[in-house]
Amino acid sequence: MNQVEIMVIGGGPAGLCAALAASSLGAKVLIAERDDIAGGQLVKQTHKFFGSEKQYAGDRGIQIGQMLLDNAQADPNIEIWTDSTVLGIYEDGIVTVEHEGAHAKIKPERIIIATGAAEKFLSFPGNDLPGIYGAGAVQTLMNVAGVKPAQSVLMVGAGNIGLIVSYQLKQAGVEVSAVIEGLPTIGGYLVHASKIQRAGIPVLTRHTILEAYGDGKVEGAVIAEINEKWQPIPGTEQKIPCDAICLAVGLSPLTELAWQAGCEMAYIRELSGHVPIVDDYLETTRPGIYCAGDVSGIEEASSAMVEGRLAGISAAASLGFGKEQVEELQKAAMSELDELRAGPMGAHIRLGLEKVAAKGGSKICS
Amino acid sequence: MLINDGIPTKDDLDKIYPSPERLAKGPVAIVECFQEIPCNPCIKACKQGAITMPRDINDLPLVDVELCNGCGLCISRCPGLAIFVVDKTYSEDMALVKLPFEYVPIPKAGQYAVALDRAGQDLGWCEVKKVISGGKKNMTYTISLAVPQEKAMEVRNIRVGGYKDGN
Ligand SMILES: Cc1cc2nc3c(=O)[nH]c(=O)nc-3n(C[C@H](O)[C@H](O)[C@H](O)COP(=O)(O)OP(=O)(O)OC[C@H]3O[C@@H](n4cnc5c(N)ncnc54)[C@H](O)[C@@H]3O)c2cc1C
Ligand code: SF4
Ligand code: SF4
């Protein structure tokens, strides 16, 4: 049995920032990351990030990920296990990890769950044909493995992920025939939409995919305009030839471990699914277990990093580290979160957090 | 409309265009950022202090066109690739448009590229006058394109590849 002070599950931006913050107060941290490299979503984000300087805005996601990883690797208080999937959190507080081919058992004094999110899928006839990908998979192929995923792609979903991955496909020399979106308006940032429009990729709102067709693999898709009731408008069907269809229809928090640990959960639509109820300091209803980043509501890397920092400080503080600085550090993180969520783009997050608060959880958003 | 297809309308653009008098004085930034998103690198990018946000990072960026000298430094610093510089004083019949570019191949100064409008439509061949690298870390190029005066407010991109050495 390994004893550790703080165990961080997931080495994405939230997990890395949690570890760095806890370590800066003196705590010893173990990060378990199931991938062969830590960094989470950031390892494939080749575009420049938004936010403010405090969240490294203007730098590219990969650069931010590398910087966090370099800092964590250079930190004597932090140990990183890669290729290590956390399998369970048990009643007695024991965490089991598949690590170097063995089943490791860890007894951490505090746990920070930062497992991020999983991509949603969409059902339509032909969606089992080879050539239908989640946007994340396409991004991993292109930007991590350096493989051109297709010649011509139809993108489904005009949130930030659909828009950004379309841009990156175009950068990789792949033709994107269109980005289609069922909603009447674009969900992602309009600057991303403008950027791909002026590169000749049309963004078609109020459109859906009716089916994918092809003989043994994707050869095209049939799309159509839809009305307010999401019903296809007869006569608007179009065939779009393509050799891949990319789905960017949302993410859902990866909460299995929080469920299993017995944390109280709530379905909050604005946060994209079931999320753990957390307090102001991101502690769940199970004392000593914290959640940070997309696992407690789909947001952005900028907010995931700040949440990670807040959870890391709070977990370390609860073990007696930090003392005087703690309150100030917590306040600074909370006000950064408030600022990131203050605008119209943060409205749904604010609403989601109010619902969490109504269930006895966080009141972070003022 | 912008919110439906990502293409700013005349109304959107009228709100942010500098006056004809200011355009007649020399190069100036055109910041095509119309949505309140949490983002502010443009403020810091401008050494003249020409870009501000009155309340917080969710505000729309405001350009003080009297402070802006059209240097173009902000172009490669904006993660939204939403900033352009237009110089209507370039020559009698040509204007210079500086735009951000993140594709390969990168054109060379002196080559011709197909200019595109905000919908990606062909606006004809234009000469690339200058290509500036954003540096090893930034990696966004700033391309200066000589365009006919009447297209200065239309040209916002170039077609990737197929560049010609002469027109
Ligand atoms: C295409 C795209 C573009 C984006 N663009 C931006 C942007 O411009 N700006 C911005 O701020 N945000 C952006 N985001 C969002 C941002 O990437 C995420 O919000 C952020 O990565 C969430 O951080 P996280 O640490 O919570 O989760 P993740 O980054 O998903 O990290 C979670 C980590 O946990 C690991 N893990 C999961 N389960 C286990 C387990 N059981 N055991 C061990 N490890 C586990 C995963 O392997 C992963 O490494 C974008 C996202 C995508 C997909
Ligand atoms: S062009 Fe130069 S002076 Fe004008 S806003 Fe941009 S950085 Fe500032
Ligand atoms: S940096 Fe660009 S995208 Fe961000 S606020 Fe400024 S103009 Fe808008």
ipTM of the complex: 0.97
Q: In whole angstroms, give the CA distance from residue B30 to residue B8.
A: 13
pLDDT at B166: 82
- A41 in contact with ligand 1, CB cutoff 6 A: yes
How high is the mean pLDDT of chain A?
Answer: 96
pLDDT at B20: 97
Residue A361 pLDDT level (bands cut at 50, 70, 90): confident
The protein residue whose alpha carbon is closest to atom 8 in ligand 2 is B46
Q: B15 exposed, middle or buried (CB, 10 Å; 0-12, 13-18, 19+)?
A: exposed
The mean per-residue pLDDT over the stretch B33-59 comes to 96
Q: In whole angstroms, give the CA distance from residue B104 to residue B141.
A: 10
Q: In sequence order, which residues have a C-beta less than 8 Å from that of residue A101 and are 6 or more positions away?
A: none
Paired tokens of A27:
């705590």
- B146 in contact with ligand 3, CB cutoff 6 A: no
The dihedral of CA A345, A186, A183, A154: what is its sign?
negative
Q: In whole angstroms, give the CA distance from residue B20 to residue B2.
A: 24
Ligand 3, residue B81: give the atom nearest the CA: 2
The mean per-residue pLDDT over the stretch B54-60 comes to 94
Sheet containing A175-181, strands listed edge to edge, beginning at the edge strand earlier in sequence: A132-134, A244-247, A152-156, A175-181, A203-205
Domain limits, CATH 3.50.50.60, in chain A: 2-118+251-358, 127-247
Question: Residues in chain A whose beta carbon is closer than 8 A to a beta carbon of chain B?
Answer: 47-53, 57-60, 63, 170-171, 184-186, 189-205, 302, 339-346
Those of residues 25-64 in B touching chain A at CB distance below 8 A are 32-41, 44-45, 56-58
pLDDT at A360: 83
Indicate whether B167 belongs to any domain.
no
Q: Which of B44, B63, B73 to mutate to test the pocket of ligand 2 (most atoms within 8 A of CB)?
A: B73
Give the tens place of pLDDT for each residue, B150-165.
999 999 999 999 999 9
Residue A160 pLDDT level (bands cut at 50, 70, 90): very high
pLDDT at A3: 80
Indicate whether B163 belongs to any domain.
no
Give A302 Cα–ligand 3 centroid separation in angstroms.
Answer: 15
List the CATH code of the domain at A127-247: 3.50.50.60
What is the helix (H) or strand (E) element at residue B3, kind and residue range? helix B2-5
Q: In whole angstroms, give the CA distance from residue A46 to residue B100.
A: 16
The dihedral of CA A41, A46, A47, A50: what is its sign?
positive
Give the tens place of pLDDT for each residue, B92-135.
999 999 999 999 999 999 999 999 999 999 999 999 999 999 99
The mean per-residue pLDDT over the stretch A77-100 comes to 97
Q: Which of B51, B76, B144 to mutate to test the pocket of ligand 2 (most atoms within 8 A of CB)?
A: B51
Residue B79 to residue A339, Cβ atoms within 8 A: no
Q: Is the pLDDT of residue A64 over 80?
A: yes
pLDDT at A39: 97
- B91 CA: distance to closest CA in chain A (Å): 26
The mean per-residue pLDDT over the stretch B14-19 comes to 97
What is the helix (H) or strand (E) element at residue A267, kind and residue range? strand A265-268
Residue A364 pLDDT level (bands cut at 50, 70, 90): low
**Could you tell me what percent of chain A has a pLDDT over 90?**
96
pLDDT at B37: 96
Cα torsion through A25, A27, A28, A33, rounded to 10: -70
Q: Pocket around ligand 2: residues whose beta carbon is below 6 Å from it?
A: B 29, 45-46, 48, 50-51, 63, 68-74, 85
- B74 in contact with ligand 3, CB cutoff 6 A: no
Q: Is-contact B58 B33, C-beta < 8 A?
A: no
The mean per-residue pLDDT over the stretch A214-230 comes to 97
What is the helix (H) or strand (E) element at residue A106, kind and residue range? strand A102-113
Q: In whole angstroms, give the CA distance from residue B46 to residue B50.
A: 6
The mean per-residue pLDDT over the stretch A249-264 comes to 97
Q: Is the pLDDT of residue A366 over 70?
A: no
Indicate whether B51 belongs to any domain.
yes
Question: How many domains does chain B divide into?
Answer: 1
Q: What is the Cβ-side half-sphere exposure of residue A255, based on CA atoms within 13 angstroms?
A: 25
At what angle are helices A61-73 and A301-318 packed, to 10 degrees?
A: 20
With beta carbons under 8 A apart, name residues in chain A contacting B119: 197-198
Give the tens place of pLDDT for each residue, A288-333.
999 999 999 999 999 999 999 999 999 999 999 999 999 999 999 9
Beta A273-276 vs A265-268: how paired, if at all? antiparallel
DSSP 8-state secondary structure symbol assigned to residue A255:
-
Residue A197 to residue B58, Cβ atoms within 8 A: no
Those of residues 9-28 in B touching chain A at CB distance below 8 A are none
Indicate whether B166 belongs to any domain.
no
Q: In whole angstroms, give the CA distance from residue A4 to residue A341.
A: 34
**Interface residue B137 vs chain A (CB under 8 A):** yes
Residue A1 pLDDT level (bands cut at 50, 70, 90): low
Residue A363 pLDDT level (bands cut at 50, 70, 90): low
* Closest by CA position to B67, among listed B86, B93, B49, B42: B49
C-beta pairs of A139-143 under 8 Å, 24+ apart in sequence = A139/A44, A139/A45, A139/A165, A139/A168, A140/A44, A142/A44, A142/A168, A142/A169, A142/A172, A143/A43, A143/A44, A143/A45, A143/A46, A143/A62, A143/A168
Residue A49 to residue B79, Cβ atoms within 8 A: yes
| Pick among A56, A176, A190, A339 to test the B interface (most B CBs inside 10 A) | A190
CATH top-level class for A2-118+251-358?
A: alpha beta
With beta carbons under 8 A apart, name residues in chain B contacting A185: 3-4
Indicate whether B143 belongs to any domain.
yes
pLDDT at A2: 78
Give the tens place of pLDDT for each residue, A5-61.
999 999 999 999 999 999 999 999 999 999 999 999 999 999 999 999 888 999 999
With beta carbons under 8 A apart, name residues in chain A contacting B120: 197-201
Q: Is-contact A316 A322, C-beta < 8 A?
A: yes
For residue B95, what are the domain limits? 2-158
